């Protein structure tokens, strides 16, 4: 692990990204007395109020590196998957900037689901049964062979621009999805290979751990509500909300995290940053669905909300390979994030709608996701527009505060689209899990490989 020293005070930090996750990261960094100035590229209307927004896109690696040199940036944090998998960290490091995150090579678990599956097999990490295909006819044949009444999951290997994982119990829809990737090439190179995976049933838990290559320290376990509709129905979205602590981070689940870190270290994939392990809790035990080598969205909005340790200190400990030496303190409260989307989401949305009612959000924190600043005020710049984050002594109190705050928000004059059951179990969860929501939120887990 390279030694990356950052100054003790007066830090200039560059956060790369423009969503609710990045607004949450900016907020957490801004709480540090060590920080002088935060720059956010390109940022949104929310980060504009707390950081200096920089009009450079997340994939403009040369321009970002040149900016970091010019502005003497001390530390960079990269939010979204694409620049992480694409190697922005390498570019910024080559420019002499300390960066929290993996190099392109270290981010292979983020960029390739086929690699991730093989990695899990090599290290005995439990996951769903799965086969991958680059030939459509072979994929269609396997689809018929692997078909089960509960349905199937179709994924593409790489990072697609759109939500590309299909969970379906309609075989024709599964076939059409395979054709979209392998025949019509709708996902470009990301769809060169398609994975056909058994459909697992059960609640999910997102484990976000700080890592330094050898050690891990867990943030409160969170749950992302992926599906569009209440009860966990409807198509998958990029996330309609999240809460923490979520039940399910049992010793068996934490063993999976430990094994993942060991495997990464053994294969030279350790890095200073965040490892996100998406786990599905089946009746037969935990199964890893995915790895991300970065903060999750919207999990970050809840897990950083109660972080009491200075985030800059945590990042520095990761960069210096001494994460094991620091204590990760959390407020022990429950945190809920409700995504307020354009009323037309997930259909086609027209950007530029006025976002109003923001000043009346009491008892909650408002994070911006897809918004843009204009002289006339913030406007929507995409489908998932705002994140309402609230906390409480228990989950119900946090939920009540978040939903009370949502009432005033308008997008293009209309109430936003949102799920009313963020923080509650999906229709099928009760069968799998006993209620262990009262597990402590602090002292969550840590390990060394």
Asked if 12 and 106 count as a contact pair (C-beta separation under 8 A), the reply is no
Contact pick of 74, 177, 258, 290 for ligand AMP (by CB under 6 A): 290
Check residue 204 for interaction with ligand AMP (CB under 6 A): yes
Q: Which of 27, 84, 34, 76 is nearest to 54 (CA)?
A: 76
Check residue 292 for interaction with ligand GLY (CB under 6 A): yes
**Could you give phi then psi for residue 338, rounded to 5 degrees?**
-110, 125
Contact pick of 153, 249, 256, 337 for ligand AMP (by CB under 6 A): 153
Interactions with ligand GLY, residue window 156-175 (CB under 6 A): none
The stretch among 61-69, 146-154, 291-299, 323-331 that binds ligand GLY (CB under 6 A) is 291-299
Interactions with ligand AMP, residue window 311-350 (CB under 6 A): none
Check residue 22 for interaction with ligand GLY (CB under 6 A): no
Provide the phi-psi class of 251: left if phi over 0, else alpha when psi is between -120 and 50, else beta: alpha
Strand 223-224, strand 241-244: pairing: antiparallel
Check residue 168 for interaction with ligand AMP (CB under 6 A): no
Whats the size of the chain, residue-wise? 449
Asked if 25 and 79 count as a contact pair (C-beta separation under 8 A), the reply is yes
Interactions with ligand AMP, residue window 82-141 (CB under 6 A): 128
Residue 200 binding result from ligand AMP, ligand GLY, none, given CB thresholds of 5 to 8 Å by partner type: ligand AMP
Smallest distance, ligand GLY to C-beta of residue 387, A = 12
Q: Rounded to whole angstroms, how far apart are CA atoms 163 and 294?
A: 17
Nearer to ligand GLY, 193 or 226 (CB): 226
Count of residues that interact with ligand AMP, criterion CB under 6 A: 14
Check residue 282 for interaction with ligand AMP (CB under 6 A): no
Smallest distance, ligand AMP to C-beta of residue 338, A = 18
Check residue 155 for interaction with ligand AMP (CB under 6 A): yes
Output the furthest CA–CA distance in the chain (Å, rounded): 61
Check residue 296 for interaction with ligand GLY (CB under 6 A): yes
The stretch among 151-159, 261-269, 290-298, 334-342 that binds ligand GLY (CB under 6 A) is 290-298
Nearer to ligand AMP, 137 or 428 (CB): 428
Check residue 110 for interaction with ligand GLY (CB under 6 A): no
Q: Rounded to whole angstroms, how far apart are CA atoms 397 and 444?
A: 22
Check residue 236 for interaction with ligand AMP (CB under 6 A): yes
Smallest distance, ligand AMP to C-beta of residue 419, A = 14
Smallest distance, ligand GLY to C-beta of residue 224, A = 4
Check residue 239 for interaction with ligand GLY (CB under 6 A): yes
Check residue 299 for interaction with ligand GLY (CB under 6 A): yes
Interactions with ligand AMP, residue window 40-59 (CB under 6 A): none
Check residue 181 for interaction with ligand AMP (CB under 6 A): no
Check residue 197 for interaction with ligand AMP (CB under 6 A): yes
Residue 155 binding result from ligand GLY, ligand AMP, none, given CB thresholds of 5 to 8 Å by partner type: ligand AMP
Residue 60 binding result from ligand GLY, ligand AMP, none, given CB thresholds of 5 to 8 Å by partner type: none
The stretch among 198-206, 245-253, 312-320, 396-404 that binds ligand AMP (CB under 6 A) is 198-206
Residue 289 binding result from ligand AMP, ligand GLY, none, given CB thresholds of 5 to 8 Å by partner type: ligand AMP
What are the residues binding ligand AMP (CB under 6 A)? Answer: 128, 153, 155, 165, 167, 197, 199-200, 204, 226, 236, 278, 289-290
What are the residues binding ligand GLY (CB under 6 A)? Answer: 224, 239, 292, 296-297, 299
């Amino acid at each position: 692990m390279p030694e990356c020293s950052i100054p003790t005070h007066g830090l200039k930090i560059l956060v790369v990204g423009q969503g609710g996750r990045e607004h949450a990261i900016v907020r957490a960094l801004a709480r540090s007395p060590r920080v002088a100035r935060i720059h956010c590229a390109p940022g949104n209307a929310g980060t504009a109020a707390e950081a200096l927004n920089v009009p450079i896109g997340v994939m403009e690696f040369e321009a970002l590196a040149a900016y970091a040199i010019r502005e003497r940036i001390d530390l960079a944090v990269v939010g979204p998957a694409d620049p992480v998998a694409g190697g922005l960290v390498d570019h910024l490091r080559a420019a002499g900037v300390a960066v929290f995150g993996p190099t392109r090579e270290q981010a292979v678990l983020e960029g390739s689901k086929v690699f991730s599956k093989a990695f899990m097999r090599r290290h005995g990490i439990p996951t769903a049964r799965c086969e991958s295909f680059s030939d459509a006819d072979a994929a269609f044949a396997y689809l018929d062979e692997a078909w089960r009444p509960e349905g199937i999951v179709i994924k593409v290997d790489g990072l697609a621009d759109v939500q590309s994982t299909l969970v379906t119990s309609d075989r024709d829809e599964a076939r059409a999805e395979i054709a979209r990737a392998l025949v019509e090439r709708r996902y470009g190179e990301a769809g060169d290979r398609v994975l056909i995976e058994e459909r697992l049933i059960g609640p999910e838990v997102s484990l976000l751990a700080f890592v330094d290559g050898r050690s891990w320290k867990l943030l409160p376990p969170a749950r992302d509500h992926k599906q569009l509709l209440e009860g966990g129905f409807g198509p998958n979205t990029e996330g309609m909300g999240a809460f923490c602590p979520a039940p399910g981070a049992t010793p068996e689940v934490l063993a999976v995290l430990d094994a993942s870190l060991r495997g990464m270290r053994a294969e030279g994939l350790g890095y200073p940053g965040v490892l996100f392990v998406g786990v599905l809790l089946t009746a037969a035990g935990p199964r890893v669905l995915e790895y991300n080598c970065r903060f999750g969205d919207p999990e970050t909005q809840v897990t950083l909300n109660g972080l009491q340790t200075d985030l800059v200190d945590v990042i520095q400990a990761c960069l210096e390979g001494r994460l094991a030496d620091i204590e990760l303190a959390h407020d022990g409260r429950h945190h809920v994030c409700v995504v307020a989307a354009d009323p037309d989401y997930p259909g086609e949305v027209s950007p530029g709608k006025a976002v109003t009612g923001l000043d009346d959000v009491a008892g909650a924190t408002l994070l911006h996701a897809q918004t843009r600043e204009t002289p006339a005020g913030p406007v929507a710049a995409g489908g998932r527009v705002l994140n309402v984050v609230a906390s409480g002594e228990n989950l119900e109190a946090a939920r009540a505060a978040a939903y009370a705050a949502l009432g005033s928000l308008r997008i293009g004059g209309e109430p936003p689209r949102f799920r009313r059951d963020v923080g509650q179990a999906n229709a099928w969860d009760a069968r799998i899990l006993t209620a262990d929501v009262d597990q402590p939120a602090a002292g969550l887990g840590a390990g060394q490989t």
